[in-house]
Amino acid sequence: MERTVIVDALKRTDIGAEINIKGWVRTRRGNKNVSFIALNDGSTINNIQIVVDMAKFDEDALKPITTGACINVNGKLVESMGQGQTVEVQADEIEIYGTADPEKYPLQKKGHTLEYLREIAHLRPRTNTFGAIFRIRHNMAMAIHTFFHERGFFYFHTPLITASDCEGAGQMFQVTTQNLYDLKKTEDGKIDYSNDFFGKQASLTVSGQLEGELAAMSLGKIYTFGPTFRAENSNTPRHLAEFWMIEPEVAFIEIAENMQLAQEFIQFCVRWALEHCQDDLAFLCKMYDNDLIDRLKFVTENDFKRLTYTEGVAILKEAVQNGKKFEFPVDWGTDLQSEHERYLVEEHFKLPVILTDYPKEIKSFYMKQNEDGKTVRAMDVLFPKIGEIIGGSQREEDYEKLSRRAAEMGVPEKDIWWYMDTRRFGTAPHAGFGLGFERLMLFVTGMQNIRDVIPFPRTPNNCDF
């Protein structure tokens, strides 16, 4: 018999029909006469109840059907007496695919902490929480592709191995096939990469933006969506060493349109979650964060507040004067800390905020320089509970200015000659941004720790699974 996935089975109304269900046992309870098995196959957060009339089965054969075991059930779809579900399955035949020894299976009781579940990341997708999160993650990826596709953007694949440091922050993981026990050095004591795999120093990318700009200067509107790597040694609930980033890049737009695109993009994704992930969101809302759904709706219904970095710093300084305590000082010219960003969003404006025109010293070489000589046309989108969710900018399209800034910031032109060529041949105004996929996931799921919204997190000292 053809298998029915549980999400579909729960919607069926053909009471009395023969049905086949396969899945993992969540719980089993009952007595000598009847046994109730809550079965889940990952297609939905909801379980289907399998009712076993023990008179029809050999009790010993059913003994191994304990939490975590995998079974294959043939039976009849019947109306459910219990609350919360409309149908259940009256079992005729049960085959055990795999047992899960109750002494050893780590997901016995409910209510494991998220910290404990991180240690068993290979099994945590079987919990309600992580089933919900990873179904939402899939839906967010679909939302992203749909948003850009419907607006005429092309999905462009940028390389993961690269010889240039887009953000210029030096936080790159090296890629090498050299024998690390016998590293060859040049005469001046530097590592000799000439015999390495690529014949030069290579790393994992920190951003697909530079190649994305090349594509925007030919295809017009593109986006990337792929893994990104940063060797920043920051053990925070918002940083991963391996994360996914979405980077749209658009020819012929300036910063105002870039901000509008960012707002519409996030709103589209959040609306998508509200429409397509109702059961999973309701679960997360109930279990972890009662304001979650209201917060999501709020973001889809309100414009983000736009202001400059300079205005933002003035507000923060005033707050400090009025007695607000921050761990880090606020001064024009320094990067804002997450606590500052969250103050603006959560306490001052009570809205998502887009800050623009940051001091050039704290931003990357490629950003368009403003007339004032001090700021660049950067934009950061700041979100409640998260802080920075998007970083972007209008790009410097002028060859001379870009070249000067790259030199000032120590970005070797020999590494980015191909990027500079876009400014030499048919340059044009353009802008783009990067959305951290897991930061979006944090917002949409209401989870507190970024390690809980990616299946297998990579962080300092953690590369298991």
Interface residue with Mg ion among 212, 391, 392, 457 (CB under 5 A) is 391
- For residue 87, the partner it binds in Mg ion, ligand 4AD, none, with Cβ less than 5 to 8 A by kind, is none
DSSP state of 462: B
Residue at 422: amino acid letter: T
Q: Smallest distance from the beta carbon of 356 to ligand 4AD, in angstroms?
A: 13
Q: Work out whether 131 is an interface residue with Mg ion (CB under 5 A).
A: no
Cα 169 from Cα 230, distance rounded (Å):
9
- For residue 396, the partner it binds in ligand 4AD, Mg ion, none, with Cβ less than 5 to 8 A by kind, is none
Q: Smallest distance from the beta carbon of 110 to ligand 4AD, in angstroms?
A: 30
Q: Which residues bind ligand 4AD (CB under 6 A)?
A: 166-167, 207, 209, 230, 232, 239-240, 243, 245, 247, 388-393, 432-434, 436, 438-439
Among the listed ranges 87-95, 281-289, 384-392, 447-455, the one in contact with Mg ion (CB under 5 A) is 384-392
Q: Which is nearer to ligand 4AD, 235 or 302 (CB)?
A: 235
Among the listed ranges 59-67, 260-268, 367-375, 391-399, the one in contact with Mg ion (CB under 5 A) is 391-399
Q: Smallest distance from the beta carbon of 168 to ligand 4AD, in angstroms?
A: 10
CA distance readout (Å), 14 to 1, 73, 347, 349: 16, 18, 53, 53
Q: Smallest distance from the beta carbon of 361 to ligand 4AD, in angstroms?
A: 15
Q: Which is nearer to ligand 4AD, 53 or 335 (CB)?
A: 335
DSSP state of 395: B
- Which residue carries 């008179």 as its tokens? 55
Q: Smallest distance from the beta carbon of 243 to ligand 4AD, in angstroms?
A: 4
- For residue 263, the partner it binds in ligand 4AD, Mg ion, none, with Cβ less than 5 to 8 A by kind, is none
**Contact (CB, 8 A) for 244 and 435:** no
- For residue 389, the partner it binds in ligand 4AD, Mg ion, none, with Cβ less than 5 to 8 A by kind, is ligand 4AD
- Which residue carries 């202001």 as its tokens? 307
Which are the contacts of 426, defined by CB distance < 8 A and separation ≥ 6? Answer: 217
**Contact (CB, 8 A) for 224 and 245:** yes
Among the listed ranges 112-120, 270-278, 385-393, 409-417, the one in contact with Mg ion (CB under 5 A) is 385-393
CA nearest to 37, candidates 64, 2, 7: 64
Report helix, strand or coil for 304: coil
- Structural tokens at position 259: 């901000």
- Structural tokens at position 201: 């120093």
Cα 444 from Cα 459, distance rounded (Å):
22
Size of the site for Mg ion (CB under 5 A): 1
- For residue 405, the partner it binds in ligand 4AD, Mg ion, none, with Cβ less than 5 to 8 A by kind, is none
Q: Smallest distance from the beta carbon of 10 to ligand 4AD, in angstroms?
A: 36
- Structural tokens at position 179: 């024998």
- For residue 453, the partner it binds in Mg ion, ligand 4AD, none, with Cβ less than 5 to 8 A by kind, is none
- Structural tokens at position 305: 């507040």
Q: Tell me the torsion sign for CA atoms 291, 296, 300, 303.
A: positive
- For residue 127, the partner it binds in ligand 4AD, Mg ion, none, with Cβ less than 5 to 8 A by kind, is none
Q: Which is nearer to ligand 4AD, 39 or 389 (CB)?
A: 389
Q: Which is nearer to ligand 4AD, 388 or 415 (CB)?
A: 388
**Contact (CB, 8 A) for 430 and 217:** yes
Which are the contacts of 232, defined by CB distance < 8 A and separation ≥ 6? Answer: 169, 171, 239, 241
Q: Which is nearer to ligand 4AD, 21 or 453 (CB)?
A: 453
Residue at 211: amino acid letter: E
Cα 459 from Cα 266, distance rounded (Å):
26
Binding footprint of Mg ion on the chain (CB under 5 A): 391
